[in-house]
Chain A
Amino acid sequence: MAQFESLIAANKRNSVLLVILFVLFICGLGALLGWAVWGDWRMAIPSIVLALAVSSVMALVGYYAGPRAVLAMSGAQPVLREDDPQLYNIVDELRLASGLPMPALYLIETPAMNAFATGRDPEHAAVAVTRGLRDRLGRDELQGVLAHELSHVQNLDTRFMTLMAVLVGVVVLVSDIGLRSIFYGGGRRRSRGGGGGGGGAVMLIILLVAVVLAILAPIFAKLIQLAVSRQREFLADASASRLTRYPEGLARALEALAADTAELATASRATAHLFIVQPLMARGRRAGGPGMWSSHPPIEERIRRLRTIGTLEA
């Protein structure tokens, strides 16, 4: 079996598992806080529902209005077929290979090399490349990058990452509600729980644990979100290989991108995760680097995995 098939299947499985884990985490967190603060874990339910409502509204606004905002913020200009027939052809060829409708094409006039894809589903998709990328990459490499972006569209990654944002938002809000309840309403627990002096010390420890959890939970949620983001990047690389049947093209493009040091001025921390490689620079190198806090996997690892497709290595 072609390796990218098994890579893609494994990746999708992991994504589902992570979401399930996340939901369980939220339920556990809510139950624990509810029990610690109000003596009854069911008290968590209204908090979770409220948090879900608020988080969903915020995420949905981003989901529908986000693409246009991101395109405007990055200074992207639409590209028609007659403006750049070769670029159009490259994307049109991928459209044939994927069975997706043709996305809207955009160009960002900057020498920095990068690309991103946005849009809530394939019918409303937009793909943008920078002038630096367009001019400095060969046809196969450019096609590899665009295949990666189209794969994000095909895998409905915008939808998926919006779901992740909702879940993270719920954790943040539930933790916030929990913390506020502890500091402003914790007295209810102590007076209702009652009992002797021994009960008071246990109560305090429980409250302490709850506070620590409420502080750490958002951090933990953010880490999971970043881990999922890295997973989806690997998935997009594997899906791109499936589209082009030529992983070397994308591998060479990533090598060129790794060497590029120009920062993309119009990118920000909010939009950085959408790009094929980290657009923000720190101390002359791409920001984030390897590790838990990065939204993208290390470029060297991505190149290595691409070059093992079709071989016997793992």
Chain B
Amino acid sequence: MTGLPIALVVLGGIVVVVGLWFVITYNGLIRLRNAVKNAWSQIDVQLKRRYDLIPNLVETVKGYAAHEKTTFEQVVQARQRGIEASTVKDQAAAENMITGALRQLFALSEAYPDLKANQNFLALQEELSSTENRIGFARQYYNDTVQAFNTRQQVFPANLVASMLGFESAEFFEIEEPTHRQAPKVSF
């Protein structure tokens, strides 16, 4: 009769171990899913930073090149479209416009040496170029996090937990329109 209690203890032990593994796996997936959400919102933070910097830049440049109206209007319009964009597609289109318009604006400094030497202009140039980098890095971090999350919930045996509890793979941030991959042309 000593066989049964031992068997029960062993069975109980297995149940405990499996249960623990289940909990640990689930918690890990939750953490990563939240990391993905946070990484996505970080991209928006950096995009907003760009919107906030643009008015200051336009004012500074206007002080030296007031009659370059088309360039200013392009930047301001692009910014407005970016702020008002409601779908991901519209936002991507607006982002592309802003990048192109900003390049033309910075190119103006070649024609106006006083502008080029202006400290405020140089500082804004650094800030905006850093913001472009930040947007890129934020997207990179988002994609890295998505990769980690997707891998974690797709490998065996964690995929059993994931499918049981309704975890779905996240989407990578991708350029949707092929034309957006082209570098915008600068013309002046």
Contacts and interface: CB of A to CB of B under 8 A. Distances in A.
A86 B141 contact: no
Interface in A132-169: none
A89 B140 contact: no
A296 to B, nearest CB: 28
B126 A89 contact: yes
B96 to A, nearest CB: 21
B126 A96 contact: no
A284 interface: no
Nearest to B140: A97
B134 to A, nearest CB: 5
Contacts of B134: 92-93, 96
Interface residues on A, range: 10 to 19
Interface in B5-35: 35
Contacts of B123: 85
A252 to B, nearest CB: 18
A98 interface: yes
Contact of B140 (A85, A86, A90, A245): A245
Interface in B148-176: none
- The DSSP consensus for interface residues of chain A is helix
B127 A97 contact: no
Contacts of B35: 99
Most A CB atoms within 10 A — which of B126, B138, B140, B145?
Answer: B140
A29 interface: no
A98 B133 CA distance: 14
A26 B141 CA distance: 41
B49 to A, nearest CB: 11
A85 B126 contact: yes
A45 B137 CA distance: 51
A236 interface: no
B104 interface: no
B42 interface: yes
Contacts of B141: 96-99
Most B CB atoms within 10 A — which of A92, A96, A245?
Answer: A96
A169 to B, nearest CB: 34
A86 B126 contact: yes
Contacts of A44: none
Interface string A12-30: 0000000000000000000
A207 interface: no
Contacts of B42: 96
Nearest to A245: B140
Interface in A81-114: 85-86, 89-90, 92-94, 96-99
Nearest to A97: B137
B120 interface: no
A245 B130 CA distance: 16
B157 to A, nearest CB: 20
8 contacts: A85-B123, A85-B126, A85-B127, A86-B126, A86-B130, A92-B130, A93-B137, A97-B140
Interface of B: 35, 39, 42, 46, 123, 126-127, 130, 133-134, 137-138, 140-141, 145
Interface of A: 85-86, 89-90, 92-94, 96-99, 245
Q: Which are the 9 A-B pairs with shortest beta-carbon distances?
A: A89-B130, A97-B137, A96-B137, A93-B133, A96-B138, A93-B137, A93-B134, A97-B141, A86-B126
Given A85-B126, A89-B133, A97-B137, 12 more contacts: A85-B127, A86-B130, A89-B127, A93-B133, A93-B134, A96-B138, A96-B141, A97-B140, A98-B141, A99-B35, A99-B39, A99-B145
